[in-house]
Amino acid sequence: MRDAAPTTIYLKDYTPFGYVVDSVHLTFDLEPHSTRVTSRIAFAPNTETTDRSFFLHGEQLKLISAKIDGIAISPTVTEQGLSCDVPNAPFTWETVVEIDPANNTALEGLYMSNGMYCTQCEAEGFRKITFYPDRPDVMAVFTVRINGPHPVLLSNGNPVDAGPHWAEWHDPWPKPAYLFALVAGELLAHSSTFTTVSGKHVDLNLYVRPGDEGKCAFGMEALKKSMIWDEQVYGREYDLDVFNIVAVDDFNMGAMENKGLNVFNSSCVLASPETSTDDNFERIEAIIAHEYFHNWTGNRITCRDWFQLCLKEGLTVFRDSQFTSDLRSAPVKRIRDVIDLRGRQFAEDNGPLSHPVRPESFQEINNFYTATVYEKGAEVIGMLKRLVGDAAYCEAVDLYFARHDGQACTIEDWLKVFEDTTGRDLTQFKRWYSQAGTPRVNVTEDWTDGTYTLTFTQSTPATPGQPHKDPRVIPIAVGLLGSNGDEVRKTEMLELTEASQSFSFDGLSSRPTPSILREFSAPVILERDSTNAERAFLLAHDTDPFNRWEAGNALAKDARLNMIIKGAAPDADYLDALQKLVRDDDLDPGFRALVLQPPSASDLAQTLFENEHAPDPQAIYDASETMAQTLAQTLADSLPRLYAATTVEGPYQPDAVGASNRMLNFRMLALLSRLDGGDQAAQQFASADNMTLQYAALVCLLSIDKGAEQNQAFFYQWKDDRLVMDKWFAAQVAFATPEKTAAIAATLTQHPLFDMKNPNRFRAVMGALAMNHAGFHHISGDAYSLLADWLIKLDPLNPQTTARMCSAFQTWKRYDADRQALIKIQLDRIAATPDLSRDTTEMITRIRE
Ligand code: ARG
Ligand code: ZN
């Protein structure tokens, strides 16, 4: 059964549901192809509305029986749900439905993964489990009984009772249906306990498939750190007797914050030194924190409707980034977040998929779990905090929890607590939620009679559906440096509110060098004429670590852009600046690694496009290769020493200091490989006792078109480990040379271990294909058609993952006419596919416009 013709849902049409739900009792009789779900729901008229129409969502359900107050009824059932006449007084609703988890390849609702049952209900999956008002503003207390032969039977809340082949759970906290979860299977628990700040005892369990027990310890520790951090920093205590996490191999997204029963993609929770890299460890720690933090920002206070998604996601991403900054290096975290924001969110915000942080319409809500809602949503919170200050931020957030606990809220509710605690009018600030597009901020400067003046001009290009943009409130952190590098003015938060506005600094004895947009204080594109000398100065002296990196990044990009546009040679000043920086052992190795990390090809492509050059992916690749080679030669004397100095002795620990050293160690190895043909990398590969070093060595070899032998050895060593095999599939495609990329990806789709039904494996190959910029955009067009072939194949099985991966084509209008024509053929072909899902139809339609 396929989706009906797509309809568009609008924020402005919101109305409350005509009934409230006092309690929900669910009974599951688990069978792979015919699970029975019995529901008993206590409804009562909602006194806040007079609308008494009764519609329950329900999709792909076989209705067995329905009763109102014990009397059988025959409701009207469509593909979307059910309606019928109901009493204008409290009543009990009972249905029995049958569902088919074993054939659920969309991984939404109740499905099976390696013989285990699990659920994913956000955003609208609960309607595939039973008939229900599946909307986040309907909150209810759930009691769940599970009948099944499995040793582990889990649902939300606290365990009530259990016997052989059954278990009962009760969740005392009213919740929307999207937070419902059920898990059943032969799982092993890695258990621990936590005592909350007020002395409450909590049992913690991480459930995994047999064989994965050795990969649980790190996740468990991360969970405890998250629990302590939320108590200490936000005053938030956990509120159930148990907290369960389950690792699942087949999962569309990263993880899900179901009340008391988080379900995780196994790649986002399982970790061991032998199988996980430093980056994996850091990401796992952050995602565990993210899902845990949702218990307050998402669960206790949820969203009124899905347009408010950023209310929980922007805030929770912001909170998890604060957590990582506190546990690890704050500057390194900030720099990495900005690289990621520019790579994914700026690309989205400046193309056909651009949408506001709070969208105003959608066809398929799953298509709006985006970098804009999440990462730009988090940036908006960061700006708010900068504008009101740390103390006022805490006060406002405390009020938010006090005022809205147990409610389903809106962005208006969120902003109101800031207005009430600070007295500020946030009307103009709210444009950050309603206007799409990345603001451009141009800055010019003037130095007259001892007064230094900065003049900022802001504008935002038109985005789909929004031709005109109004000026926003933009916090711009500025510091001024004297000629010896001393700070002559400490960081000040300028508030740009007009289209154009000047800020003056008096009493300076000489013209200062400005450090603008420190800490990346707003998600904007800063345009400023600068010289290489000034950038080198800031790279050497800026007291703000982010801007120090930013100066190096600007030099790095400029040097490559000059090679691409003007055919220039690698810039000597840039190479010189890097040489000085790399040798400065007072600097954090992780920070140095980030300065040495080449700007991404897609970042260069975006910048070329902004400057009215159609990016040539092959030219970008060639320039980056030449630069890497030249850099290796320039730094040749320092490489062996720094490689040795950053080699961490002793058994591997995933700690921040070790990871920081290994980041620089990896950069050194990458450059060394360009001089020694990969000898050092081969040696590292052979002797590595942890995945960080082993994988780094493999990547270095593949990047110089070597490593066939190591690639094979890696396969035989790890072929039984699913998560490591994902790395193996991805690395070969991601680091292939442009002309070989599509062919390697095509060959890997024929590998016996390739499984399109597993989203991690599918993404390993197809995601890596889209991320290999020069390979994906190779002028043969082979990669475009390969990706389209597989999206067409996957769509009937898994619309959600297919739709997400369509975004590989979102930047297509950046490129030359030949490439645009090649991509257009594929977009048309996908669009013309019979019975294309609503998810993919919406994405392709938006991208093609
Ligand atoms: N709420 C989850 C998180 O960010 C994401 C779940 C999204 N799932 C989906 N099917 N769109 O933690
Ligand atoms: Zn989230």
Query: Rounded to the nearest 5°, which phi and psi values hold at 363?
Result: -100, -45
Cis amide prior to 783 (ω within 30 degrees): no
Task: Report d(CA 717, CA 145) in Å as an integer.
Answer: 43
- Grade residue 2 by pLDDT with cuts at 50, 70 and 90: very low
Average of per-residue pLDDT values in the chain? 98
Predicted pLDDT of residue 6: 74
- Grade residue 323 by pLDDT with cuts at 50, 70 and 90: very high
Integer-rounded Cα Rg, in Å, for the chain is: 27
Predicted pLDDT of residue 5: 62
Give distance in angstroms: CA of 317 to centre of ligand 1.
Answer: 12
Question: b/e per residue, 689-722, with b = 16+ CB within 10 A?
Answer: ebbbbbbbbbbbbbbbebbeebbeebbeebeebb
* For residue 23, pLDDT beyond 80: yes
> For ligand 1, is residue 843 a contact (CB within 6 Å)?
no
Instruction: Quote the distance between the C-alpha of residue 798 and its chain's center.
Output: 20
Residue with tokens 């969740």: 171
Residue with CA at minimum distance from ligand 1 atom 6: 256
Listed residue (246, 234, 241) closest to 183, CA to CA = 246
What does the pLDDT average to over 138-162? 98
> For ligand 1, is residue 375 a contact (CB within 6 Å)?
no
> For ligand 1, is residue 124 a contact (CB within 6 Å)?
no
Give distance in angstroms: CA of 287 to centre of ligand 2.
Answer: 8
Q: Does the predicted interface ipTM exceed a cut of 0.90?
A: yes
Residue with CA at minimum distance from ligand 1 atom 11: 366
Task: Report d(CA 69, CA 93) in Å as an integer.
Answer: 6
Give distance in angstroms: CA of 612 to centre of ligand 2.
Answer: 37
* The pTM of the whole model exceeds 0.95: yes
* For residue 793, pLDDT beyond 80: yes
What 3-state DSSP class applies to 4?
coil
Tens of pLDDT, residues 693-704:
999 999 999 999
Closest ligand 1 atom to residue 290 Cα is 12
What does the pLDDT average to over 789-803? 98
Catalytic residue of the set 124, 168, 291, 364: 291
What does the pLDDT average to over 221-237? 99
What does the pLDDT average to over 320-339? 98
Asked if 139 contacts 406 with a C-beta cutoff of 8 angstroms, the reply is yes
Asked if 236 contacts 230 with a C-beta cutoff of 8 angstroms, the reply is yes
Task: Report d(CA 762, CA 6) in Å as an integer.
Answer: 26
Give distance in angstroms: CA of 255 to centre of ligand 2.
Answer: 8
Q: Is 291 a catalytic residue?
A: yes
